[in-house]
Amino acid sequence: MKTGSRTTSRFSRPFTGAALTAVLGLVGAPAATAAQGVVPQVSCYQRATDGGLDDSLATQLCRGARSSTPADCFARAQDEGSLTQSQAVQLCQFAAPDEDPAGCYLQARQQTFAAPARVLQLCQPAVQHCPGYVE
């Protein structure tokens, strides 16, 4: 598609206007937030996919996110915690900025002999808000 004297691809442009509103609607963000910049769910999703997480797990990780904290937690849990992607998503998906589930997991694994599944349960943040669509 041509714009002025410059040729741009429809895939190289950031989401704007109706397209951004549609994407934000998919992640449960109000349409009014589109005009204010990137919403937390989208920021989290972008960080997670940039870090190599596939679309499905990134969506699960960031659905209802209030910041990019779940993506940051995921990266730390993967780098330092020897967790599978699914385990790291389970640990981090509801993390808030004032929580450190990855740090909890790492410390608990160093200080106890508890099974990894038990440590995941111990350190997983409580869901403090409804994340939206439930299957």
- pLDDT tens column, 38-66: 899 999 999 999 989 999 999 999 999 99
Q: In the chain, how many domains are there? A: 1
What is the pTM for the complete model shown?
0.66
The answer to whether residue 17 is domain-embedded is: no
The answer to whether residue 12 is domain-embedded is: no
The answer to whether residue 54 is domain-embedded is: yes
Domain range spanning residue 80? 39-126
Q: 83-110 pLDDT, tens per residue?
A: 899 999 999 999 999 999 999 999 999 9
CA distance 77 to 112: 17
CA distance 54 to 9: 23
Sign of CA pseudo-dihedral 73, 58, 87, 84: negative
The answer to whether residue 74 is domain-embedded is: yes
